[in-house]
Amino acid sequence: MSKIFDNSTEDKKFKKVLKDVIAEDGVKRIDMCVGYFNLRGWNFIAEEVD
């Protein structure tokens, strides 16, 4: 199921939303289209990504 996260209209932090999506049962792949993602951000999800 597709999910759209627009941080200009959401109160949730992207890090929390991304971790929640990765933790969902059955998730084996995530395709993302982002306007900007600082590579240092991988530190926040490194343990969840295989």
**How confident is the model over 7-47, as pLDDT tens digits?**
666 566 777 878 888 888 888 888 877 777 777 877 888 88
Give the per-residue pLDDT at 50: 67
For 3, 20, 46, the CA distances from 34, given in Å and listed in that order, are 13, 17, 18
* DSSP code for 47: T
What is the Cα–Cα distance from 22 to 15, expressed in whole angstroms? 11
Predicted confidence at residue 21, as pLDDT, reads 83
- What lies within 8 Å, CB to CB, of 27 at 6+ separation is 21
**In this predicted structure, what is the pLDDT of residue 11?**
65
Domain residue extents for the chain: 14-45
pTM: 0.54
pLDDT value of residue 9:
60
What pLDDT score was predicted for residue 40?
A: 80
